[in-house]
A and B are shown apart, each in its own frame.
Chain A
Amino acid sequence: MNASRLPAGGTALALTLVLALAGCAGAPASDRTVTVFAASSLTGVFADIAELDPTLDVRFTFDGSSTLVDQLAGGAPADVLATADEATMARATQASLVEPEPTVFATNAGVLIVPAGNPAGVTGLDASLDGTKLVVCAPTVPCGATARALADAAGVALAPVSEEQKVTDVRGKVASGEADAGIVFATDATAAGDAVETIVLDPDGRFATRYPVAVVAGSANAETAHAFIDLVTSDAGRVVLAEHGFGTP
């Protein structure tokens, strides 16, 4: 047994079981079935896009991009991989887990959010942040890297009180008023609704992360996989993406 593959292999096994059970329980599988591994931040938008074409039978697994690539490496059966950054997709490409030349279908820009009513009077990445409780992502995760790039561009040094592992934790701490401000992606701000107010930091998307999508190498449903990717990049798909706060290239 290769110990290094144990965690990923175990998860893949569990997934296979779950998917197999789902297959048993549902209607006779149409031949337009496609299994999509997508970054967590795509949860809402991909479900909406899938509804645009009722003939497609799309099965989703949403998780962190790295985790998804680990699962693919462990043999998890999927047809489409969509990650939240190009670096992670590059890892999958290099390992030949996906077909070459992924398509960038969306961008997500960093924004500053504050609790409804903006109690600390934050105006942007500037002196108004002094003495406030700012929460960002850890530099090692995409939203943290974006936050750092935005801060560097603005010429300020961030002094966060917490560096979260998950962007949703940043949003949660701002929405609950525990923190005075946080740097998240535009989509996270959109999803938070009225609980937060958004301050745009990067109107041109210079530091936005880019979401690539690719067909998984050796997919048994390659044709349907391409159909799904076409749907995502279609005009209708772009409208849905924009509704969720994504920018489109």
Chain B
Amino acid sequence: MTVPMPASGGAGRPRWLFVPAVLAVLFLAVPLLGIVARVPWADVPALLTTRSSLDALGLSLLTCLVATAISLALGLPLALVLARADGRLAGLVRTLVTIPMVLPPVVAGLALLITFGRRGVLGAPLAVLGIEVGFSTVAVVMAQVFVAMPFLVTAVEGALRATGTGVEGAAATLGASPTYTLRRVTLPLLAPSIAAGGALTFARALGEFGATITFAGSLQGVTRTLPLEIYLLRELDTDAALALALVLIVVAGLTVAATGWLSRRTVRRSAP
């Protein structure tokens, strides 16, 4: 990491800015370092390989991968449509899609519950058909998709808007059908943004807690993901909770780093 120095061209920054800036870094970094310092390193392998930890880890990875895949399958088309749409309806849809991002997760869980729950608007008719999602792994994935897909949609839509329609128009004049253009031009050019958006989506799904516990419940190997396991262990076995927290921090760190690397790659490529 390089510290931006005032000398490096252009107007310098006042030196006093460094005081609040350093405070900000400390405030954000010290609690994370606190966990790292407090993790019982010698016991970590044992703590992470207990039946319940492995179940939570496996369940989290499985559900997050599925949630990311669903977000890609549904969110990517939505982003593609939204990026080329203007007008009031598109604006409304854009707002609707963003809301789950800023909603408290518990509210997201309640919303899912009163929609897909046993007595919910959609859940009740489904229950008649014998389909009940509550307390199932499907419910976990639904909660994750609900809170995480907006990240994919906004990331990809933003990238699409920034790139404009020029090359797609050029492809059309060369005889490429819209589908061929999407496959050979739009998606390859978007690949870094899609990967970055997918990573963010995965990270958000991995951290999902409130909607899951409200909507899906908590049962080992079925609905108890890593964050729920940490929450459960917090009062009982702090060491185990910390070890699992460490796993989450590491995965989140890797994801954010990958996102940054991918977006830098995009910038370099689009600026010849």
| Direct touch of chains A and B (CB < 8 A) | yes
Residue B86 at the chain A interface, CB threshold 8 Å: no
Chain A 170-194 near chain B by CB (<8 Å), digits 1 or 0? 0001001111000000000000000
A133 and B217 alpha carbons, distance in the complex (Å): 11
A164 and B231 alpha carbons, distance in the complex (Å): 10
Number of interface residues of A (CB under 8 A): 23
- Would B236 and A162 count as touching, CB distance under 8 A? no
A3 and B223 alpha carbons, distance in the complex (Å): 31
Given contacts A162-B223, A164-B218, A165-B232, whether A178 and B34 have CB atoms under 8 Å apart is: no
Residue A86 at the chain B interface, CB threshold 8 Å: no
Residue B113 at the chain A interface, CB threshold 8 Å: yes
Given contacts A6-B31, A135-B217, A169-B213, whether A178 and B118 have CB atoms under 8 Å apart is: yes
Residue B197 at the chain A interface, CB threshold 8 Å: no
Which residues of chain B have C-beta atoms less than 8 A from A67's C-beta?
A: 235
Number of interface residues of B (CB under 8 A): 27
Given contacts A3-B34, A6-B34, A133-B135, whether A161 and B117 have CB atoms under 8 Å apart is: no
A34 and B200 alpha carbons, distance in the complex (Å): 48
Closest to B223 in A: A162
- Would A162 and B232 count as touching, CB distance under 8 A? no
**Closest approach, in angstroms, between the C-beta of A151 and any C-beta of chain B?**
16
Residue B13 at the chain A interface, CB threshold 8 Å: no
Interface, chain B (partner A; CB < 8 A): 31, 34-35, 37-38, 113, 117-119, 134-135, 213-214, 216-220, 222-224, 228, 231-233, 235-236
* 18 contacts across the A-B interface (CB closer than 8 A): A6-B31, A6-B34, A66-B235, A138-B218, A141-B235, A161-B217, A161-B219, A162-B135, A162-B216, A163-B218, A163-B224, A164-B217, A164-B218, A165-B231, A165-B232, A169-B214, A178-B113, A178-B119
Interface, chain A (partner B; CB < 8 A): 3-4, 6, 64, 66-67, 133, 135, 138, 140-141, 160-165, 169, 173, 176-179
